[in-house]
Structure 1
Amino acid sequence: MKLIDESLLDALSAEAGSSDRKRKNLNYHFGDADVLQRMLNAFEPGTYVRPHKHENPAKREVFILLRGRLMMFFFDDTGRVTHRQLLDPEAGKYAVEIAPGEWHMAVSLEAGTVVYEVKDGPYDPSSDKQFAPWAPAEGTQDADVWLEKLMVDHFTDR
């Protein structure tokens, strides 16, 4: 049995907050070969998750919000925002399932945001995700500017 409780979420969020990437995951699957990848993923405001899709091989992905607030953005092949979904318990929005091949990214709106993430496996870092060619690479100054513009242009609170 693996228990997910407040102290675990607090510890994971603290690790995310002190990391350069402003996020941290804790795997529950039994290794890269597991056909069901499961993990906690802590996102702090300011983290940049480069838009990506899971297409070759096709994989579903589910984010179940455990606490905090998370905005999910979805894009077309040119980088235009097609829709967004706020995950927020106060709004009664708790989870989203992402179809294979759908461009997406997550943006933390609140410190201490943690999701339980489930994705088809196995995990192969060379083919797990295809990054959007129209979005800057993680860890660049361009990424910070791009994320800020995305939020200004497309964010609605509720």
Structure 2
Amino acid sequence: MDFDKDFLERLFEQAIESPRLRQSFDLRTSSADSSQRILNALLSGTVVPIHRHLNTSETVICLCGKMDEVIYEESDSNKEVPSLREVQRIRLCPAEARYGCQVPMGAWHTVEVIEPSVIFEAKDGAYAPVTSENVWSYE
């Protein structure tokens, strides 16, 4: 399978039709595959909740577009109501020779899409959905 311009354009077309303004393409060979590899087309305005992966780091490579990977840490300014504070913002933009990053295991993170982008994401281990305790809640 080739990931050429036509393939990425079709992925963007599907993202436009999605209410979430993004579309993923699973690169695993089967549901039993013991790795996580996807292409993800992201449009400006998509909202990816702040989340974390407790058992794996995440490799993100930007194939096209421009976006920021935003890393947070929990703030202990008020121990009764935990909050997050931004600690790193990593610009991903191949046109600027900024190709990718590694999100550390357990780090809270999200993305902010500046221009329509396609990223390759890889994580260790078999796919497991992010659980509610690993999605940041502002309540």
Structure-2-length-normalised TM-score = 0.86
Match among 119, 130, 139 for residue 115 of structure 1: 119
RMSD: 1.8
Question: Quick check: 1:64 aligned with 2:61?
Answer: yes
Match among 111, 130, 138 for residue 134 of structure 1: 138
Unmatched tracts of structure 1, length 5 or more: 136-158
Per-residue deviation, 1:11: 0.3
Higher strand share: 2
* 2:110 alignment partner AA: M
Structure 1 segment 138-153 matched on structure 2, within 5 A: none
* 1:88 alignment partner AA: C
**Which deviations, in whole Å up to 9, do the C-alpha atoms of 1:41-89 show, x marking residues without a partner?**
000000000000001xx11211111000111111111211111000012
**Which deviations, in whole Å up to 9, do the C-alpha atoms of 1:110-138 show, x marking residues without a partner?**
13x10111111211226598101238xxx
List structure 1 segments (4+ residues) > 4 angstroms apart after TM superposition.
126-129
- Give 1:21's aligned residue: 20
Higher helix share: 1
**In the comparison of the two structures, how many residue pairs are matched?**
131
Structure-1-length-normalised TM-score = 0.77
